[in-house]
Amino acid sequence: MPIPEKFIEELVERSDIVDVVSSYVRLGKKSGANLFGLCPFHSEKTPSFSVSPDKQIYHCFGCGKGGGVISFIMEIENLGYRDAVAFLARRAGMTLPEETNDAESRRRARMLALNKAAARFFYSQLSTEGGRAACEYMARRQISPEVARRFGLGAAPDSWDSLEKAMRAEGFTDLELADAGLVRRGKSAGFYDTFRNRLMFPVIDVRGNVIGFSGRILGDGEPKYMNSPETLVFNKSRNLFALNLAKKSKSGYILLTEGNIDVVSLHQAGFDSAVASLGTSLTAEQARLISRYTNEVIIAYDSDGAGLKASQRAIGILEKLDLKVRVLRMTGAKDPDEFIKTRGAEAFRKLLEGSENQVDYRLNTLARNYDLSDTEQKLAFLDEAYDIVARLPESTRREIYAAKLAAMVEVKEQAVLTDVEARHKRLLRHARGSEQREAMRVEKRPASGEKKPRYDNLSSAVGEEGVIRLLSFEPELGVKLELPGEEEFTAPALREIYHVLRERIARHESVNPAMLSGVLSSEQLSLLISLQDKPERLANSEQAMRDYIRKIRESAGGGSSLSLREQADKYRRSGKGYKDG
């Protein structure tokens, strides 16, 4: 019997790949968000073994091996799939299910279908008497009907059982509704709607599935905002509101806000990269999710004390993934929604352009805690500030910020720089040995020993690889577009991976490589990881997918005299999906 998908998801979540791999490999920070060390699967002197904390995968540029945490244990401990799962389950304190079937997958698919039907019901209420309060509220908040449609906003009527009756008419049971958090059991008997008299915001994951809801009350009462409870498909700490839309933005950054209304208002004003956490402070899981789509984040939290505190916490989480972080300082408005309504979109755009990088923000915020006209407080300020500046890896940046600190406390630049460099050296001495420090210095480069697949039709292979790469990043494309048949794939290795991805997408199962150790072989998983390492523009992913499909069909029946590298270069220069990395 197969192990339930939900169990594997939870096991992977609990088994951070950096923690697991660090038990076998000494890892050091090398470049970007990845950690590097000497590969445990082949002999080498220079680190080429990469671990990605955000993607939760590993990939060796030397021998080509790659995969997730389960496949790593399979390789390093020489275990089969089930034994590797048992190994990690013991490590995570989880009990391995003894008897399983595919009931979990069916339940998951059923819940997603129910959520989608509920979202349609809430949206339909906007055109009825039951949705009048929500429409009036949106009019007051200046939310246009077009934007309401884009986000799928809706209304939960001020009724005890409107949703329950509508969903039962569509064939769903009260127990299914309760399981999805859409109804609650009454004290005496029966069920009642969870969301009543609220403006409804569907929470849609990056695959396009409605996984839960957030509701804003339309009258008096508490809580002001209510989210769906934790369910089989919804975990608020692992998802972000509107990331399904923001991931397509061409802005080059993610705009991180605190509230759903802020996000809607920003998108309406043309800032289409805005997202919000779901009633929680930013979590490490949400940060990893963001890092899949950008290397820069602008924090636009509320300007009150709680917002400042949340910004500081978010900076610490985001910088661990080597994301470039900037912070907005809004004056005269408590949040982005109010700022745009009072000052306008152009003023907000200028605010974005002048946003502080995280170092400036942290130093300026820190300075507000001290009276810099007092000698003792100057010294206390510098002691904390040195710790911020000394952790900067580039000597030029340390020198620039040392000069800024000197100006802030009115002392000589050289004195501050000397203290900063002394603190920097002390931090380096505390690093984990000379091998880690060497790994932090070396530059990433592909190794010549990495294994490459052999293709008979090299022209078609460019398209086939592109289809797989896009599907692995955006599974919803498999639902939106008519994909090529498996028989159109000319490379057997790619055809097998493509078959697995399509099957899992049809069952609403994850196609994250960390979850595929039980269905792909070691060679197939390594090939998939190598495909994902190639750059891809996701801002126009649907057109890119159509281009790749057309390339497969235009190449049918013939090979090419060009190598795969030459084919890829030619396709990249054409300005379509594939791009330089």
Query: What are the residue ranges of CATH 3.90.980.10 in the chain?
Result: 103-234
Confidence label for 128 from pLDDT (cuts 50, 70 and 90) = very high
Name the residue type at position 512: N
* 332-364 b/e (C-beta count within 10 Å ≥ 16 → b): ebebbbbbbeebebeebeebeeebbebbebbbe
Provide the CA 174 distance to its chain's centre, in angstroms.
Answer: 33
Query: What are the residue ranges of CATH 3.90.580.10 in the chain?
Result: 5-92
Architecture (CATH level 2) of domain 103-234: Alpha-Beta Complex (3.90)
Report d(CA 579, CA 581) in Å as an integer.
6
Question: Which of 175-179, 423-427, 503-507 holds the top average pLDDT?
Answer: 175-179
CATH code linked to domain 458-573: 1.10.860
Report d(CA 532, CA 269) in Å as an integer.
33
Give DSSP secondary structure letters for 85-127: HHHHHHHHT-PPPSS--THHHHHHHHHHHHHHHHHHHHHHGGG
Instruction: Quickly list H helices, 320-457.
Output: 336-343, 345-353, 358-367, 375-390, 395-409, 413-429, 433-441
Statement: residue 564 has pLDDT above 60: no
- Residue 431 vs residue 270, higher pLDDT: 270
Q: DSSP assignment, residue 484?
A: P
Provide the CA 411 distance to its chain's centre, in angstroms.
Answer: 43
3-state secondary structure 418-450: HHHHHHHHHHHHCCCHHHHHHHHHCCCCCCCCC
CA nearest neighbour of 277 among 307, 238, 228, 313 = 238
Q: What mean pLDDT do residues 476-494 have?
A: 91
Statement: residue 398 has pLDDT above 50: yes
Statement: residue 441 has pLDDT above 50: no
Angle formed by the axes of helices 69-77 and 5-14, to 10°?
80
Count other Cβ atoms within 10 Å, centred on residue 403.
14
Q: What mean pLDDT do residues 18-24 have?
A: 89
CATH class held by domain 5-92: alpha beta
Return the pLDDT at 439. 38
Return the pLDDT at 539. 73
- Residue 392 vs residue 78, higher pLDDT: 392
Confidence label for 438 from pLDDT (cuts 50, 70 and 90) = very low
Residue owning tokens 């002390």: 426
In this prediction the pTM is 0.63
Structure tokens at 469: 């790469």
Question: Which of 40-49, 64-73, 257-266 holds the top average pLDDT?
Answer: 257-266
Return the pLDDT at 61. 86
Query: What are the residue ranges of CATH 1.10.860 in the chain?
Result: 458-573
Return the pLDDT at 210. 96
Residue 184 — φ and ψ, nearest 5°?
-125, 150
Preceding omega of 223 cis (within 30 degrees of 0): yes
Element (H, E) at 19: helix 17-22
Report d(CA 128, CA 123) in Å as an integer.
10
CATH fold for the domain made of 243-344: Dna Topoisomerase Vi A Subunit; Chain: A, domain 2 (3.40.1360)
Count other Cβ atoms within 10 Å, centred on residue 88.
22
Provide the 3-class DSSP secondary structure of residue 77: helix
Statement: residue 437 has pLDDT above 50: no
Query: What are the residue ranges of CATH 3.40.1360.10 in the chain?
Result: 243-344
Q: What mean pLDDT do residues 135-142 have?
A: 97
Statement: residue 127 has pLDDT above 50: yes
pLDDT tens-digit series, residues 315-336: 988 877 778 899 998 888 999 9
Instruction: Quickly list H helices, 78-228.
Output: 81-92, 103-124, 132-140, 145-151, 162-169, 174-179
Return the pLDDT at 445. 38
